[in-house]
Structures are given as C-alpha cells and as structure tokens.
Amino acid sequence: MVTAADSMMDAARRRVLRAALLVATLVFPLEAQAGKAAFDAGMRLMRENKPAQAESQFERAIEQDGRNGLYHLWLGNAIGSQVSDASTVRQPFMARRIKAEFERAVELDPALLDARDGLVGFYLQAPGFMGGSPAKAREQQREIASRSPYRGHLAAANIAAFQKDTAGVERALRAAIAAAPDSVRAVIALAQRQQQWGRLPAAFATLEDALKARPADIALRFQLGRLAASTGQQLPRGEQVLRALAAEPDWTPENSRPSRAAVHYRLGMILEKQSRRPDAKAQYERALVLDSQLQVAKDALAALR
C-alpha cells in the first residue's frame, strides 16, 4: 500500500529530478557557448597569424566541448603552423599532437573533409617514425573522393606533387576544375603550379580562361595581378586588374580572396618593375595603412628608400 509519506517522497524525488534537468539544460548550452567563443577567438588569432595564442583558445574550446571535430581540426592546424619555427627537439612531439588532433576530428566527424585533407598532408610529409605513410595518405584521399569527387581530385593532386608527378598533378587539377566548374580553388592551384614549372604563358592562359566565365571574381583577378607582379610579365594587364580591384567596394578576405593590403602591395610591385618608383612607394604606403604588419610591404618600402 502506498502511504502518504511514500507519495511525499516520490513528489520530492520528482522535484529534484526536474531541478537537475533544468540545471543540465542551462549548463550544457553555457558550455557550448563558451566553447564557441573560445573557438571564434582562436580563428581570429589564426587570421592574425598568431598560432601559439590560437592554440590556447582551441584547447579551451575543446575543454568545453571535446566532441566537436572542428575544434580538434583547428587545434591541429594551429600546432602545425608552428612546426617550422620549433626546435628539432619539439618537432616530433608536435607532429604526434597534430596527427592525434586530425585523427580525433575525423573520428568525431567522418565527413569533415578538411581534417582528412590535413591527414593527407601529414602522412605525406611526416617521416615514418612519426607516423608518416604515403599508403595512409592514399587511403584518406579515397575516403575524401567517396564524399566529394572535387575534393578527392585536389587531394590526388597533392599526392602527385609529393611524388613529383607533374603530369599527375595537372591531370588531377583539371579533373577538379571539371568536377566543380564554379570553384576557383583548382584553377588558382593549377595556375600556381604552372608558374612553378616555368610555364608562364600557360599560367596566364589558365587564369584568363577562367575570368572569361567569371570576370568579376575577386580571387581570380588578384591571382592574375599577382602573377604579373611576381614574374614581371604582362605588367599592363596586371596593373589594369589590380587597379580595378582596388576600386571595388570592401570585401571579406576569406578562402581565396586577398586582403586589400595585398592588392596594393602587388600593385606596388608592378609599378616598381615599370620604374615608376613614386607611384610604387604610394602603393606600399597604402598597403601599410591597411595592414601595418604586412612585412613584405615594409621591406619593399625600405628597399625603395
């Protein structure tokens, strides 16, 4: 028989349970918000080229929400950005951490292709005793291709480049362009590779062909100007596209889009190559007004003086 005391105890338990559930619904969103805030701070620091500080923020984000694959991916990226400046003693430990974070990201979110891309790069570059493995890189490339043929072709191009297979790189990048005609990433990658191979007319043609379909694209226009500035070829064309780009309304420098400071710096390079030193100086100075930390513009301005 249920007594009045039993009923009172059951009611008390229900009140405790409701209170616990209320606390849980309040605490978990707060933890998620704190994790997102730390992650956003880390991303801002990465854009400012401060990976060591970003690393701390991504670690805080993971403390709040350790099951978010994106947080692990960017912790791996932040650590990876510091490897080249680290001592040879620290590098093996950093490599293990990078691998662990990328693998954890993939474990938590198998569809996180950037993490799989990170593993492709790691497996290709790391020596065997640190976990490097071309076979594992190819395995990740196949996983990427099964989810996105376009991204799979890009990963295949990276593997071919590691193997010094020039024909394989071009074949993979052209396949990527065909798989995603609206994307400029593969176009830019192909033009940059062609420049590295010394095939400058082909590099200009790759960008010009893409611009016929997307004449207003900011990233493509900048790449054409950058190519002219860095090679000293087609300087009038490079000046034309960069001046038009500098006159554009503000845009967000993300993905393949440059900063406005970068546009003025490259325009300065073109003007300097045309022996128009006062005009070049003005462009370098404008670049530094927009980004006072742009070291290449500082160096170019110092050289002019």
pTM of this structure? 0.81
Q: 3-state SS string over 199-227?
A: CHHHHHHHHHHHHHHCCCCHHHHHHHHHH
Q: Which CATH architecture has domain 148-215?
A: Alpha Horseshoe (1.25)
- Distance of alpha carbon 58 from its chain centroid, rounded? 16
With contact defined as beta carbons under 8 Å apart, do 229 and 238 qualify?
A: yes
Please, what sign has the CA dihedral across residues 267, 252, 175, 189?
Answer: positive
The reported pLDDT for the residue numbered 1 is 46
Q: Is residue 293 over pLDDT 70?
A: yes
The reported pLDDT for the residue numbered 5 is 43
Of 276 and 25, more confident: 276
Write the CA distances from 241 to 43, 182, 226, 270, integer angstroms. Answer: 30, 21, 10, 11
Distance between CA 10 and CA 18 in Å, rounded? 12
Give percent of the chain above pLDDT 90: 79
* Residues forming CATH 1.25.40.10 domain(s) in the chain: 50-147, 148-215
The reported pLDDT for the residue numbered 14 is 60
DSSP code for 234: S
Q: Is residue 221 over pLDDT 60?
A: yes
Q: Is residue 40 over pLDDT 60?
A: yes
- Helices (H), ranges, 48-148: 51-64, 69-80, 91-108, 113-125, 134-147
For 14-39, the pLDDT digits (tens) are 665 565 555 544 444 656 788 899 99
The reported pLDDT for the residue numbered 10 is 57
Of 276 and 4, more confident: 276
Distance between CA 234 and CA 207 in Å, rounded? 13
Which numeric CATH code is attached to 50-147?
1.25.40.10
For 112-124, the pLDDT digits (tens) are 999 999 999 999 9
Average pLDDT, the chain: 91
Give percent of the chain above pLDDT 70: 90
The reported pLDDT for the residue numbered 195 is 98
Of 91 and 264, more confident: 264
For 138-182, the pLDDT digits (tens) are 999 999 999 999 999 999 999 999 999 999 999 999 999 999 998
What single string gives the DSSP state of each residue in 127-193? -GGGT--HHHHHHHHHHHHHH-HHHHHHHHHHHHHHTT-HHHHHHHHHHHHHH-TT--HHHHHHHHH
CATH number for domain 217-305, candidates 1.20.1440, 1.10.150, 1.20.58, 1.25.40: 1.25.40
H or E stretch at 289:
helix 277-290
Mean pLDDT throughout 267-271? 98
